[in-house]
Structure 1
Amino acid sequence: MTISPTLQRYMADKGIQYDLIQHEPAMTSLGTAHAGHIPRDSMAKGVMLSDGQRYMLAVMPASHHLRLSDLKTELGQEMRLASEDEIVEVFRDCDRGAIPPVGSCYGLNVIIENDMDRQRDIYFEGGDHATLVHMKAEDFARLNPQAQHGSFSEPMY
């Protein structure tokens, strides 16, 4: 697998310019950034969440971890991390743990960490653990046009 067919069709429909970068398989977003030789702040990761009735995707740099309390403040409601089974159900054409931070093509609402707005280039896993998608930040914004932006994560170190 390279990138998910759902993501590939969505990017084609929107006329998004992107490059694919092959790298040694990695199982974490930080490991992927390292394997791809890219800045970890430019590596976007998605975390799927649930409020019990609907799902959404929180997108942040690989160098950050999610703060659910801050997310609650941003959204005005509590969210929990989605289970592996829930994630697999939504991202059916992606390898486990390699979900793209593009919720729009999977019917998910999206919130993007403000720190992502500082990046000129964005990299992310497109559905497997050995292929990175690279694009300009403006194109990434076009992939999640209705995304909310907020501050809900912090650097790991």
Structure 2
Amino acid sequence: MHMAQTLERSLQRAHCQFELVEHTHSATSLESARKAGIPAARMAKSVILDDRRGHYLMAVLPADRQLDLSKVRKGPRRWQLSGEQSLARLFKDCEHGAVPALGEVYGIDMLIDPLLVRQQDIYLEAGDHESLVHMPIDEFFKLAPNAKVCELCH
């Protein structure tokens, strides 16, 4: 498997500039960054949350950072980490654990940490464990125009 079909179609529809970066098999976004030889601060990882009532949210942060759930829980919903079954259902065209950090193309609201927004370009999982999408940050926002930027990390 290479790029997830949903992601590929969305990139083409938006006429985004990007490149596909291959790397040896990895299990996490942080490991993907290391194996691809890129700074972890420029690798966008996604954390999927839900409110146990059918609403989902994708938090996007640098691969070398951890999500501070208390910063997400400030709103009216009580977000918590989504289970593996939900991820498999939401991201059917992705390998387990290789969810692209572009929830909006999957119909999921997004929060993105400002640490990523400050980067000129970012990398994200392409939907498998051996390739990344590399794109300028302004191209990323073509696919996430409604993403809210807010502090998410410890």
Residue 146 of structure 1 is matched in structure 2 by 146
SS of the residue 1:123 aligns to:
strand
SS of the residue 2:146 aligns to:
coil
- State the AA in 2 paired with 1:62: A
SS of the residue 1:65 aligns to:
coil
1:143 deviates by 1.1
Residue 62 of structure 2 is matched in structure 1 by 61
Tell me the distance in 1 between the aligned counterparts of 2:108 and 2:77: 16
**Aligned runs of 1:112-127 on 2, under 5 Å?**
112-127=112-127
Tell me the distance in 2 between the aligned counterparts of 1:77 and 1:69: 12
Tell me the distance in 2 between the aligned counterparts of 1:10 and 1:28: 24
Structure 1 unaligned regions, length at least 5: none
> What's the CA shift string for 1:54-76, capped at 9, x where partnerless?
11111000011111111112x34
TM-score by length of 2: 0.96
1:77 deviates by 2.8
SS of the residue 1:153 aligns to:
coil
Residue 52 of structure 2 is matched in structure 1 by 52
Residue 98 of structure 2 is matched in structure 1 by 98
Residue 110 of structure 1 is matched in structure 2 by 110
TM-score by length of 1: 0.95
SS of the residue 2:16 aligns to:
coil
**What's the C-alpha RMSD, in Å, of the aligned pairs?**
0.9
- State the AA in 2 paired with 1:133: V
Structure 2 unaligned regions, length at least 5: none
Tell me the distance in 2 between the aligned counterparts of 1:151 and 1:22: 30
> What's the CA shift string for 1:67-119, capped at 9, x where partnerless?
1111112x343200000000000000000000000001111000101111111
Tell me the distance in 1 between the aligned counterparts of 2:57 and 2:63: 18
- State the AA in 2 paired with 1:70: K
Where does structure 1 differ by over 4 angstroms across 4 or more consecutive aligned residues?
A: none
Tell me the distance in 1 between the aligned counterparts of 2:71 and 2:91: 26
Equivalent pairs: percent with the same residue? 37
- State the AA in 1 paired with 2:127: G
- State the AA in 2 paired with 1:52: R
Pairs aligned (count): 153
